[in-house]
Structure 1
Amino acid sequence: MDQVKRNTICKYCWAIPFPELPFEDEPGVSHQPSLAALKDSASTCALCHLILKAVNLIRKDVASERKGKPGAFGGSLAFNPDGGITHFGMYQPGTNSRSISDQGSDDGASSESAGTGSAGFAHDDDDDDDCLRPWLFGNWWKDTNGRLQLIGLGVRLAPTPHIHDAEGNDGSTVHYRGSFLRIRTDDNQSSALGLRRIRRWAEGGGSRPDTALPSRLLDVGPHADAGFDGVRLVETGGQQRGRYIALSHCWGTSHTLTTTRSTIGVRRAGVALAALPKTYRDAVTITRALSVRYLWIDSLCIVQDDPDDWEREAAKMAAVYGGCYLTIAASCSTGDASGCFPSFADRVKRATFNDASPYVENKSDDPDDVSWLHRTPFAQMGSRRGELVEYTIPSFGCPVDPLAGLPLNTRAWTLQERLLSPRTLHLCYDQMYWELDDGYMLAEDGTKIQNTWFSTECLIFRETQPWSEHGLAEAPGLSLIEGFPPVLDRRGHGRWNGGWLGLIEDYTQRNMTRCDDKLPALSGVASFVARSTNDTYYAGLWKSHILEDLAWRVYTREETRTQVAGGFAHRYGEKLCDVVVPLDYRAPSWSWASLDAHIRFVPLDFARLVAEFLDAHVEPAGLDPFGKVSAGWIKLWAPLVEVFPCEPSFQPSKHDPISFGVLVQFTLAHIVSPDGTEFPDISYGEAFFDVGQRFPCFVLFLDSSNALLLERVDDCSRPNTFKRVGLARFLRTGAQRRMEPLTFNGHRPWGVPYGPMTDSHPRCTVTII
């Protein structure tokens, strides 16, 4: 990784008028008198060194264009105007071009100058180093308040300041390449400038009302004791109101400082700042900078070896994070000692992460010896005078979460901490992010990212939307494939995108140190949803959506089912997880919380539901009704049939979309042919067992196609009692296909069911434990 040893800035770089830099299509600001002079200065001037790197990459891009390849260069280099080089990286702004005849004269270029310079000539040697010189321009964006903000410094080579004469323009077309040097005021988030930005964000929303304080808090000062610089644990009795900040962090394995029954007195007396782990010290620094008196840290504000205190306080998580002034998210921290603010070394080490600043590797002093380590997924559109584009992503393309994959967001407990907080400060490798509950996230560099997937507002909207919006999405297209819905994009429909189902799919992919925290780590969100919807909670499932919430299955590997000539192709992708069944009871078998694995929900056909919810009961294991459970059962009235594995020689038709699961079958009815011969009418399907194949087993249908896989409980005192062992889906029988073939009659997908089960099939009452 390039560690620039040059520690001087030349007179030309010091003279760059950053506040007055022109737009890209305006005449540029002169820099070094020639390209040759820039090359000479790059050996001693840190900024010239970076500008020369950008120039060489631009010239490579121009050379590619001349060979008929699309120009795709777009980069960023970070420079600290206060005198230090921070780092440099790349981003992808996109390349725009337009004809000179369409450009007009608003760019200040004369008709005589257009196309008469170096444009159109290849530069494979140094013959033109004395006649070309670098010209600088700015990349200006509107911030969220509509003010212009300089976020980039661009450079082009030309004999004149005009964009028409820039290298790479051929006299009839002007290329807008955007800026190539990213402007950063400071690389250290913990600096005075970084803290000032945090204060500006925190104060930008106006004054916030005082809220009820948690049972315990850390008083960060000022303290009356002369010479004491530290924190004290204080107990509020739950009766006081005020402002406090909450910390969301990874504990790691060190656990260097906690509150226990034996240390609570010491914590009340005070802990010196120097004795706190670095993550806690950084949180104290931010809390004091915002003039907030109290800080909540779970490991210090909950008595860790007192089960009653832990359960009581864990049940208040929704109130703790929901009522805080803001939450500090140490997104890059892997433990108490990591700190909230990532160091430059950490940024370099994590540079290949999708959410990190993308760096360029330079293995020698040759500025042309560069290679890509990573290109960021963000695309930035160029801006021209009179056509300023608000710096908002992803208003185009697919949604982007810049926090995905960071250490903090791989932990189970932190999902509800982020979701429930009204305002969160994320301290990340590339920059700081300010997340609000209004559907947007602001970044340190001016980016405004639309958050359409993660907010309490979206969660409640999805939970309370009309019944018609649930299950399989109705679409105008028709599917003429047996058992295959025409639309399988669950993300934009029902309770997936930002709803409970999507939340659980995210949650079950996260890591958890204590497996018995599976339900407690989500209890804050569950209690919030219960209060907001007046719904009843059953160990991870909701009464109002119980059939849909039962339709989950384990995914141990990625599965890809694609249509090919003659039918379907089924391919397994990367391994996702191993299924782990906890040694001790954790939840009923019908709850996704009963095991550890990647869980995904299967969309039901709500127009063809055949099961009916009768009753359910879950026994809490403690005081928290949304936490640990000790027992539970559910009663459904639905079709129940025994299923059998298909013969090893059985091969499903390539036209039928089954092959990932264990091939199973059951006889729906017996058909009598005209000659009096009786033969079984069989439905074939695929069974996805949670852990290993379990025969004999039964299926309890939820809709016409999807069914719970059940194993009978060997208990004479509880007839028709089962345990869930998986999920299955079935195709219509041969007789059903003949009687109601898939024809283009305008009624599909609702005209013909996807599976064999109908309301006419006998149903019974089944208890699942």
Structure 2
Amino acid sequence: MFWECNEGTFAEDGHVVLKRGLAECGQREGPFSKLAYSSTLDGPSPMSQEAFASQWERLVKAYSTLKLTRGDDKLPALSGLAAAFHSRTQNNEYIAGIWRQCLPKQLAWSITSKKPEKEHQIFQVTEYKDGSKGYHTQTDNSFVHASQLSRKPITYLAPSFSWAAVDGEIQFHGLPRPCARIKSIVLDFPSSNRFGRLKHGSLFISASLRQAWSCGPLNEDLGGVFCKRKKGYIPLYHEGWPFGYILPDSLDDVVTFDIYCLKLGQEGNEKYPQFLVDMFLALVPLQEEDTITPKFRRIGLGKTMSGETEFFSEADLKTIELV
């Protein structure tokens, strides 16, 4: 199969036939060439869960950078690859862009917090006793720059817990020690194709849930010695004390009110508690919390600051519905 556009002519296996009017005959391992996924799609036996997840997340990261003519084609356009990946695994359910056996790890995604690079740099000047000065920069990736955020799509694309529900370049954060438990999943499709368009989806998940408060993003850079933060950083508070922050999913999710935090797991070395970080979903309620199974919508991915893991120590273990 060949693709032809203003940029050139390209083959399915990665060969570049013609590029910008110049004849070429090279094979490139681009993010969407069959060559890049040949070991995944053409292997003789099922892949390991780790290799499967890594390859899929690599694909999603590249796919999310594309600009589709029709936004509601996001899942249908990926359905062929999803079906091919499904054939290389066992008893793994596809859930609107993520995989059952990769949960809750594949819930730990966000819009990229690393672009544009210069907007994340903190310039520091150190004065020494002899009067000389030293200059260096630090990188603050604890916020998503506004240029990377879009409005939420008007048309329903996927449940809020899936990266396919929003527009923007996706990154996966990994989850070394997951603790949330997936109870059940309910999916409603408009056709028999379980890899394409979705009408509705719900994820029932059990984890530590606790309420916090947000006053929105910083309007200017925050100085200081120990905790410099860039404009756009969204701190979270509990009882007046900042304990973490949110990476919002869209411009519509930069909220300034009560937020619920659902713990997914933890990252960092357990030998050094002062550096441990809890990772959680930032949620807003769609039903009262005191209902039997309260319903929530995801608005972002959150992390506690290093050593602030006490926030979840008094949280209730709750089963909720994510839509």
**TM-score normalised to the size of structure 1?**
0.33
CA contact (8 A) 2:53 2:102 kept: no
With over 3 angstroms needed to count, the CA separation of the structure-2 counterparts of 1:643 and 1:532, relative to structure 1, is same
Q: Which residue of 1 is the match for residue 3 of structure 2?
A: 248
The corresponding residue for 2:182 is: 613
Counterpart pick for 1:710 among 283, 290, 298: 283
Which protein has the larger Cα radius of gyration, Structure 1 or Structure 2?
1
Q: Which moved more, 1:425-434 or 1:568-577?
A: 568-577
SS at the partner of 1:640? Answer: strand
Report Cα offsets for 1:501-541 as digits up to 9, x if no partner: 11101001012111111001000111111111021100001
Aligned-residue offset at 1:426: 2.1
Identity of aligned residues (%): 20
Asked if 1 retains the 8 angstrom alpha-carbon contact of 2:41 and 2:84, the reply is no
What residue in structure 1 maps to residue 319 of structure 2? Answer: 765
Q: Partner amino acid for 1:598?
A: E
Aligned partner of residue 544 in structure 1, secondary structure: helix
**For residues 548 and 657 of structure 1, do their structure 2 counterparts lie closer, same or farther at Cα, with a shift above 3 Å needed?**
farther
* Amino acid across the alignment from 1:644: W
Q: Name the aligned partner's letter for residue 87 of structure 2.
A: R
Aligned residues: 283
- Provide the residue aligned with 2:116 in structure 1: 558
Q: How many angstroms apart in 2 are the aligned matches of 1:494 and 1:658?
A: 36
Quote how far apart the aligned CAs of 1:645 are.
2.3
CA distance in 2, matches of 1:697, 1:640: 10
Distance 1:657 1:533, change over 3 A: farther
Conserved? CA contact 1:587–1:632, under 8 Å: yes
User: Unaligned 5+ residue runs, structure 2?
Assistant: 127-136, 267-277
- Distance in 1 between the 2:124 and 2:48 partners? 37
Please give the alpha-carbon distance, in whole angstroms, between the structure 1 residues aligned to 2:228 and 2:25. Answer: 46
TM-score by length of 2: 0.73
Counterparts of 1:247 and 1:730, CA distance in 2 = 47
**Aligned-pair Cα RMSD in Å:** 3.9
Over residues 416-440 of structure 1, what are the superposed CA-to-partner deviations in whole Å (9 max), with x where a residue is unaligned?
Answer: x84xxxx4532133522246xxxx7
* Structure 2 CA distance for partners of 1:700 and 1:578, relative to 1, 3 Å: closer
Q: CA deviation at 1:732?
A: 4.7
Change (3 A) 1:683 1:638: farther
1:511 aligns with 2:67: yes
Unaligned runs of 5+ in 1: 1-245, 253-331, 334-339, 341-407, 409-416, 442-450, 471-492, 668-679, 737-754
Residues 317-345 of structure 1: per-residue CA shift (max 9 Å, x gap): xxxxxxxxxxxxxxx34xxxxxx4xxxxx
Shift of 1:711: 0.6
Alpha-carbon distance between aligned partners in 1 of 2:311 and 2:35, rounded to the nearest angstrom: 35
- Shift in CA distance, 641/563, structure 1 to aligned 2, threshold 3 Å: farther
* Offset from partner CA, 1:522-570 (integer Å, 9 cap, x none): 0011111111102110000100112121111123842546796789453
Give the direction of change, closer, same or farther, for the CA distance of 1:459–1:629 in structure 2 (3 Å limit). Answer: same
Secondary structure class of the residue paired with 2:265: coil
2:39 aligns with 457
Alignment of 1:85-484 (within 5 A): 246-250=1-5, 332-333=7-8, 340=9, 418=12, 423-429=13-19, 431-434=24-27, 454-458=36-40, 464-465=47-48
The answer as to whether partners of 1:551 and 1:727 remain within 8 angstroms in 2 is yes
Distance in 1 of aligned mates of 2:147 and 2:34:
25
* Residue 691 (1) aligns with residue 250 (2): yes
Identify if the C-alpha distance between structure 1 residues 577 and 569 changes in structure 2 by more than 3 Å, giving closer, same or farther.
closer
Shift of 1:594: 1.1
1:573–1:761: structure 2 CA closer, same or farther, 3 Å change rule?
A: closer
Residues of 2 paired with 1:495 and 1:586: CA distance? 22
CA change 1:531–1:563 in 2 (3 A) is farther
Match of 2:274 in 1: none
1 or 2 for the larger relative contact order (CA 8 Å, sep ≥6)?
A: 2
* Secondary structure at the counterpart of residue 36 of structure 2: coil
Conserved 8 A contact 1:610-1:758: no
Aligned equivalent of 1:502, options 50, 58, 69: 58
Which residue of structure 2 lines up, in the alignment, with residue 77 of structure 1? none
- The answer to whether residue 98 in structure 2 is matched with residue 541 in structure 1 is yes
Match of 1:700 among 262, 270, 273: 262
Cα 1:565–1:762 change in 2 (3 A) is: farther
Secondary structure in 2 aligned to 1:454? helix
Shift in CA distance, 697/565, structure 1 to aligned 2, threshold 3 Å: same
State the alpha-carbon separation in 2 of the partners of residues 714 and 657 from structure 1: 37
CA distance in 2, matches of 1:563, 1:454: 39
